[in-house]
């Protein structure tokens, strides 16, 4: 008789009917540089698409995060790079509808021509992580920072800290997001809040902050809600691809 463990292992293996799709990590803005495992995805259900089509400013983070948590396999939500998040939402819409195009109006900055274009995932404006992040940075004040890219887990912690009534000061979310790239200062591990206070009321001056922002810019990656299309003049036209209800529940 087979042990329970053996039976369980058999059940867990994806069979031929598995609906998992291996994500080509090279397509991610991060190029998968910060993931050790393979990532899988699946098509979204009608209910999930309907949820996405109804997002509001207040619900967007919660809905995007829960969609990624349930549809992306091989990684914990908290470990997903924050800068891959938006791309993953566009990607999930694309695989769910076999990349059904959406009409968007683009304008060429070079010749001024306006035209309608068919948006597909390949048109999304993505900045890829070409180089590995240089992890150590010495600030003008002599302090040494160790750096990393924030994850969705860090993003959730930032939101929690910002809304924590125990911190009576007004927290600047932009400075805190930049500070969340710091994992240690002079070899001592710091929390996101500690990294924030280093600039808000610590040793980090405006000059040190500017140095950190410039350094991070060189390694920045991510997707933005815009697409690029080749214009008849040979330059690129740009169109916004808003995450509206038509986008998630297209007219077909």
**Measured from the CB of residue 116, what is the shortest distance to Zn ion in angstroms?**
14
Give me the torsion for CA of 53, 58, 60, 61, rounded to 10°.
-160
Calpha distance 110→112 (Å, rounded):
6
**Measured from the CB of residue 238, what is the shortest distance to Zn ion in angstroms?**
11
Compare residues 40 and 236 and give the one whose CB is closer to Zn ion: 236
Compare residues 179 and 237 and give the one whose CB is closer to Zn ion: 237
Compare residues 103 and 113 and give the one whose CB is closer to Zn ion: 113
Compare residues 111 and 210 and give the one whose CB is closer to Zn ion: 111
Q: How many CA atoms lie within 13 A of 128 on its CB side?
A: 10
E strand intervals along 5-130? 21-22, 40-41, 72-73, 102-108, 114-119, 124-127
- Contacts of Zn ion in 49-108 (CB under 5 A): 108
Confirm or reject binding of residue 230 to Zn ion (CB under 5 A). Answer: no
Q: Which stretch binds Zn ion (CB under 5 A): 2-10, 32-40, 58-66, 230-238?
A: 230-238
By rule CB under 5 A, what count of residues binds Zn ion? 7
Confirm or reject binding of residue 233 to Zn ion (CB under 5 A). Answer: yes
Annotate each residue in 174-213 with x if it binds Zn ion (CB under 5 A) or - if it does not, as one string: ----------------------------------------
**Measured from the CB of residue 230, what is the shortest distance to Zn ion in angstroms?**
9
Compare residues 111 and 138 and give the one whose CB is closer to Zn ion: 111
Q: Which stretch binds Zn ion (CB under 5 A): 18-26, 57-65, 140-148, 227-235?
A: 227-235
**Measured from the CB of residue 114, what is the shortest distance to Zn ion in angstroms?**
10
Question: Judging by beta carbons within 10 Å of its beta carbon (0-12, 13-18, 19+), is residue 28 exposed, middle or buried?
Answer: buried
**Measured from the CB of residue 108, what is the shortest distance to Zn ion in angstroms?**
3
**Measured from the CB of residue 228, what is the shortest distance to Zn ion in angstroms?**
12
The b/e string for 92-120 (b: 16+ C-beta within 10 A; e otherwise) is bbbbbbeeeebebebebeeeeeeeebebe
Residue 33 CB neighbours (<10 A): 18
**Measured from the CB of residue 112, what is the shortest distance to Zn ion in angstroms?**
7
Compare residues 114 and 160 and give the one whose CB is closer to Zn ion: 114
- Contacts of Zn ion in 99-118 (CB under 5 A): 108, 110-111, 113
Calpha distance 172→191 (Å, rounded):
16
Compare residues 99 and 115 and give the one whose CB is closer to Zn ion: 115
Calpha distance 250→243 (Å, rounded):
11
Calpha distance 20→169 (Å, rounded):
46
Per DSSP, the residues of 100-116 read --EEEEEEETTT--EEE
Residues that bind Zn ion (CB under 5 A): 108, 110-111, 113, 231, 233, 235
């Amino acid at each position: 008789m087979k042990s329970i463990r053996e039976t369980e292992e058999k059940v867990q293996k994806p069979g031929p009917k598995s609906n998992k799709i291996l994500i080509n990590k090279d397509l991610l803005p991060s190029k998968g540089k910060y993931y050790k495992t393979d990532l899988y995805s699946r098509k979204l259900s009608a209910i999930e698409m309907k949820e996405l089509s109804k997002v509001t400013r207040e619900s967007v983070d919660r809905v995007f995060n829960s969609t990624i948590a349930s549809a992306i396999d091989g990684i914990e939500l908290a470990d997903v790079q924050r800068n891959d998040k938006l791309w993953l939402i566009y990607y999930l819409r694309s695989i769910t509808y076999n990349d059904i195009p959406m009409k968007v109006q683009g304008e060429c900055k070079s010749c001024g021509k306006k035209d309608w274009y068919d948006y597909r995932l390949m048109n999304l404006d993505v900045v890829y992580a070409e180089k590995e992040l240089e992890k150590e940075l010495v600030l003008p004040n002599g302090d040494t920072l160790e750096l990393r890219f924030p994850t969705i887990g860090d993003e959730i912690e930032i939101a929690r800290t910002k809304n924590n009534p125990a911190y009576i000061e007004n927290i600047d979310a932009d400075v805190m997001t930049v500070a969340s790239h710091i994992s240690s200062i002079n070899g001592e591990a710091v929390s996101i809040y500690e990294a924030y206070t280093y600039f808000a009321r610590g040793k980090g001056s405006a000059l040190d902050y500017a140095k950190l922002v410039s350094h991070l810019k060189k390694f920045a990656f991510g997707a933005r809600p815009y697409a690029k299309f080749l214009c008849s003049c040979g330059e690129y036209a740009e169109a916004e691809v808003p995450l509206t209800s038509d986008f998630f529940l297209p007219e077909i």
